[in-house]
Structure 1
Amino acid sequence: MLSAGQSVQSVAYSPDSRYLAAGEVGGEIRLWTERVGAPALPGYLPGHEVAGTGPISADGRLLITQEDEPDLSTTTRIWTSGDNGSPKPRYTLPKDWEANWFLTGRDGDPVLLAHHWAGGLDHTLQLWRFGAEGQPHRSASIRYTADVPHITVSPDGRLLAVGSGEERAIALWDISDPAKPVRRADIPAQAKGGLFDTGSLWFAGPHTVVTVENGWHLRFWDVSDPDHPRMGDVIEDAALRQGAMYDDVSKLLITEESGDTIRLYNLSRPARPVEGERIPAAPGSYFPAGNDELATAAADGTIDFWDVSDPRKPRKKRETVRFDRAITSLAVTPDGRHAITGSPYRIWSLGRDGRWATPELATLEGAESVRLPSGRSWLAVTTQTDAPGLAWPTSGTRTSSTTTPTASTRPCAAHNPSVCRRTAGRRCSRI
């Protein structure tokens, strides 16, 4: 059963029985589709992401799934999604090729970053552009040596940085033309992190690359001129903590400090973070919540909201939201009408004044991950077991329609921060 945001005083089915309309006492009408939990796809969405990338293309039309095969190999497939999220198979990657990402920061045809590895230390990257139909158009190959590769893309999709513990420098590639990647320069640093540790190499905005120096410090590099990268400032000891984050919307950099606190920085100038104040927040429990707004979550389920337009003078807003448990993720849609928290993953309605309506609009029972395609009216949900509350037909990756008819609402359009976290075992995700 899907719960409404407020008490319901009337319901009605459409003549074709495809929709259920629920009229609420607050004056809004919510529209539920007939197939809330369908369709389902085999496999799962890739979970390893960095800023400027995602398993769903920027236009929401293509998505990536992966399936584990009995021989321990992985099959990667590309699916085309219709307006209602109904998917159709588009392309299966050849043997030994895999892909986790579309470049989501660019316009035009969707571009996939494909990776080939057949064992050993030799790796190959290619950019595959998907037109309206047919096979993808492949770029020239980018080759490198790595035990554990580290790859990151600028949020605008124009630069690619590739490094490892085996390469003596980080290669900076211009991928403005995905058909012809050009190696512009080398950054004199190495990326030595472990598997799934995205903090060894990441972009903080389109013109700043961040690396870890001596295993302790965060070093910033100005790549405004990709042909001549320049060493920028350093934040000492920041790499010793569990995470760091950059929000491209607010130009806000966050590092973790002792005592369950975080430090705010203004990163409006490439590679030149300006130190601001500290605010209370547990490791990994801080989330962009809109333009110049940050949400911090406590272990008791409390969420505080901060105005961080001036990192030197953060201001706690009056509203506080209290849940029945601590949350691990939070995303607010660009129109400010809905929010998704996890886990468990729940969808919430937000009033015009930003207040959260309770109870939740829906709970996605059994969901292990949720993706929100930009500008689309559906969710991609990965589950491992049947979800009793939503009656999923089979396990796998599913699309769920959650639309309302009010005021040009885009309830499942993704909030689009460029977020990177340096993690110990945690993944860097774009929410």
Structure 2
Amino acid sequence: MASLWDVSTLSLLRNKHAPEQCLLRRMSGDESTVTTVGFTPDSSYLATGSSGGELRIWDARFGHSVPIAIKSKAHDLGVCTLHFSPAIGKEDSVLGKQYLMATGGQDNELRLWVVEVGGQIVGGSNSPIIAPHHTLYGHAAPIMCVRFSTSGHILASASGDKTVRLWDPIKLIPLGVLEGHKRYVTSCAFSDDGVLLAAGSGDRVIHIWKVEGVTNNINKVSVSSHVGKRLSAKFPSQRYRENIKVIDWNCDDVCGWLTEQGLAEYSHNFRSQAIDGRELLTMTDDILENKLGVDALGHRNKILRLIQKSGPESPASKTSVNAPPKEYLCPITKELFTDPVLCADGFTYERVALEAWLADGKRTSPMTNEKLTHLTLTPNRTLRTLIQRYKEESI
């Protein structure tokens, strides 16, 4: 059995009747244990996996307590984990939707599925389906957790074989193997910016890897494709943002670009304002700060510089954006220096920011994390003069 709860009013939890008031719907049908659940990226549908090996899709918003699609024997010996790609299926369409779902099972296999809802799917039918897309081999033990990165460009799988494996879910190739745990790896998760991957294990240790720029390592594992004609013709049409002009980007492309630039914290604001590529190219410093909540000057300048480099179709490329060099920005505050001081680690910081760092009892470098040999702060007068000159020229 699976249940849907309304957690919007947390104050109800103080009431002894709150659990029943928050319960929206119970969904029954599985004859075995429900081992994993997951929403589609648009929250319209819910998927469940069971120890009996079945996958079920439920209407999370308007449907009744019956599944709209069932896939029997999705994994021999049971489904352990599932996750939907956050990059596919968020766009609105009257012709139906398509989602990419990854599952891991007790059979040591990592499988990709295409979930299609609405529109004419097979032979003119409108019935939702869960269709096999690809099977990835390499793990030597049950797969306990699968997770897509925020951009959807990387898929991670954690297994009882003590490893985490990385895959490209679009090109359907392995990217590498992360080792170090001494016991089964039970969980994994990407940071919002897609740079870090954390994994937890039965050895009571959490490992964190930097996965940005990971390169292909095809010799690590073998890959076998089970793509049918219909799916191979339709699904790999997934767009590659780097091959599309910025002016033609959709909102998902813009948010994925922000994540890659380390600015994932602003993705929600850009999405809520429906900023696509055409709108992105018209951004000004005032709009970024007052409409989209990009408070840090350094972050605003980074966005404007990147827009300026986007090509001849960019209005920003025709406008001079006199952004300060990154050397003029404090590495702690990301703001333009006003009182730069040189620290024992050889880096320059804003005096107020570094003094606050030291006031917290920290005696390590904010940049290298190594112990400082002394706490003397030397004014960087040369840099201060250069910044003053830059300000005068910008007026």
State the TM-score, normalizing by the size of structure 1.
Answer: 0.36
The structure with more helix, counted as a fraction of residues: 2
State the TM-score, normalizing by the size of structure 2.
Answer: 0.38
The structure with more strand, counted as a fraction of residues: 1
Higher relative contact order at CA 8 Å, sep ≥6: structure 1 or structure 2? 1
Structure with max Cα Rg: 2
